[in-house]
Chain A
Amino acid sequence: MTFTKDPSKEKARLRWLPLDNAAKIYPAARSKTWSNVFRLSATLTQPVDRAVLEEALEAVIGRFPAICARLRRGCFWYYLQQIEHSPQIREEYSYPLVRMPAAEVRRCAFRVIVYQNRIALEFFHALTDGNGALVFLKTLLAEYLRRRYGIAVPAEQGVLDPAQEPLAEELEDSFQKYAGSRRAGRKGTDAYRITGTRETGGLRHLTCLELPVEQTLQKAHEYGVSLTAFLCAATMMAIQNIQEEQTAHRCHHRPVKVLLPVNLRKLFPSASLRNFVLYTIPEIDPRLGRYSFPEICRAVRHRMGLELEPKFMSTVIAANVAGERIFAVKIMPLFLKNLVMKAVFRRVGERKSCLSLSNLGTVQMPDVMKPYISRLDFVLGIQATGAYNCGVVSWGDTLYLNLTRNIREPKLEYHLSQVLQELGLKPLVRSN
């Protein structure tokens, strides 16, 4: 007797997963002009071989059932379903993070884009956060380099073995696991928003400021803060300058707030490859007077010191998961949930900060991969109603700070580069 694989049963065995707590808002908040997408890209030292990349992609997608997935609608919640085959590799456009329409997210919620030496991955945020995406990128790069150059890449420093079965802890929704017993409050004032002439047709401008890591870190230590806090303080200083230029009377100024995503895997013992990120929002209130750079650094350091604690974060997680645990919410039809969540997101989610500044930190990879990779980029999609967002990643001795904007005037880029120069740093600027 011979057994053959029944394709319909194969399809049925594809994994499906409910969305994690942070992901639930993204499909609901999506609109005709905006979807929450971010990009991670690696530029290699030689042009990318598409055929080899396709093979590598096909080999690794089974290892990441929560990332290589499409978004489906249930009656009460959205869910992710693992895809059977890798998506087609796409051509690059003149700007990154082109809106991901609903039809595309239903087919496959991430993209692979190749341009010259660069492999770029764009993810719908409901799949994973920057750290989960980074593990996927590293594993894909390792598989590509293995197949292209025949090198043996060990499964270490974030590179996973594609032949291994996905682990249960990689697929867990860690928010449910680490929610505390007390809930944090959600009070907060609306922040200043940078405005300008909106680009039409979804056009995005990308400006990359490249800084030497060592020198920037040294400068951060001079002010007694971490690299992330230093960049956050510089951005806040630039926004303070923009606001002073645009609003004459100080009494009309609004708080300057920057949303800093926090990788909760550093606070809790989680190995999840799904969203497991929260945020802290350092702020200054320019109505109280002009802040000097050391004062901003202190404000950022104290806020981060206060909130980046497991106990505090567990109360924030508890507040976030409380809503979805209410029985009445669970049985509410999905279209009603979407209406409510969209309204809440527009009212609360975005107005509390000027922009996000997400720092993935210094990326580590196995030594054998390093000679093949010349740079990495982390590009955040713009908020639904904001004008800017900022992604930071360090590779080798260079820090890449990518600013995306949907307005014509490069206000923040200009002021941020001025602040960095006043601090003694000389950024190298590239744009799309």
Chain B
Amino acid sequence: MYCANCGVKLGEAEQVCPLCATPAFHPAIPRPAGEKQYPRDVYPPQPERPLAAQIVSTALFLLPMLITLLCDWQISGRVTWSGYVVGALLVVYLGMVLPFWFSKPQPMIFLPLWFAGVAAYLCYIAASTGGDWFVPFALPLTGVLGLLFTALVALLRRFPKGRLLICGGAFAMLGGYLTLLEWLIWAVFRHHRFIGWSFYPLIALLLLGGTVAALSLNRETREAMERKFFL
């Protein structure tokens, strides 16, 4: 029997054309059930994911944590400076090792989780040093940065073809973030008058973001730039 779409002759066992997926059927031509060349649905067992690297990495993180805690306990009789070391190591572990325990780590879960870990670490530092800067200063900065990064990754994954436009928007948002940073420093700490240094990177980043966004929208210019700057 021949494929009605692409015209190739089909083997007896082919129920659909392997080349164009057109069903191999003709009401006037009875087809005997042919034998396929390979058994149906018999697949090799998938190899188990080796976890040695994760176990070794976790041990490498746990070891300095325990040693630091023990030393601190021996010297001070309680957790003092070792808390900062352990917290920092936990934050790094959260970002660099924890996702690899999972076969398909989802950045949309681990990225906010990591920023939450950073916020918790900063909260610990603020609490143990008696500072009152966490809620008015560190929390909004970490939260906004976490939101920005999560949104950026989500958009890049959802619209991979619009990456230039998304990156242009990200540059503009980064400029806005720097302005927020300066305003928060001024509003919370009030050590000096409002200088407005953040407007310089804001303008530069807005220009850069605008250029990238314009390039993403103008195909001819983009191709001209590619020709000019290819490596």
Contacts and interface: CB of A to CB of B under 8 A. Distances in A.
B14 A429 contact: yes
Contacts of A431: 11, 14, 18, 37
Contacts of A432: 36-38
Contact of B19 (A96, A206, A410): A410
A429 B39 contact: no
A304 interface: no
With most chain B CB atoms within 10 A of its CB, the pick from A203, A414, A418, A427 is A414
Given A101-B47, A116-B35, A201-B46, A428 B41 contact: no
B44 interface: yes
B11 A93 contact: no
SS class of chain B's interface: helix, strand, loop or mixed?
loop
A429 B18 contact: yes
Interface of B: 3, 6-11, 13-14, 17-20, 35-44, 46-47, 223
Contacts of B43: 93-95, 201, 203
Interface of A: 91-96, 98, 101, 115-116, 118, 201-203, 206-209, 249, 410, 413-414, 417-418, 421, 426-432
With most chain A CB atoms within 10 A of its CB, the pick from B13, B18, B42 is B18
Contacts of B6: 414, 417-418
Nearest to A98: B44
B42 A410 contact: no
B7 A421 contact: yes
B10 A429 contact: yes
B8 A426 contact: yes
A102 to B, nearest CB: 11
A201 B45 CA distance: 9
A429 B20 contact: no
Contacts of B14: 429-431
A333 B38 CA distance: 43
Contact of A93 (B17, B20, B39): B39
Nearest to A101: B47
A207 B41 CA distance: 17
B38 A94 contact: yes
Nearest to A418: B6
A99 to B, nearest CB: 8
Given A94-B43, A201-B46, A417-B19, A427 B38 contact: no
Given A428-B8, A431-B14, A414 B38 contact: no
A53 to B, nearest CB: 18
With most chain B CB atoms within 10 A of its CB, the pick from A93, A207, A417 is A417
28 contacts: A91-B42, A92-B38, A92-B39, A92-B42, A93-B44, A94-B40, A95-B43, A98-B44, A201-B43, A201-B46, A203-B43, A410-B18, A410-B20, A413-B18, A414-B6, A414-B19, A421-B8, A428-B8, A429-B3, A429-B10, A429-B17, A429-B19, A430-B14, A431-B11, A431-B14, A431-B37, A432-B36, A432-B38
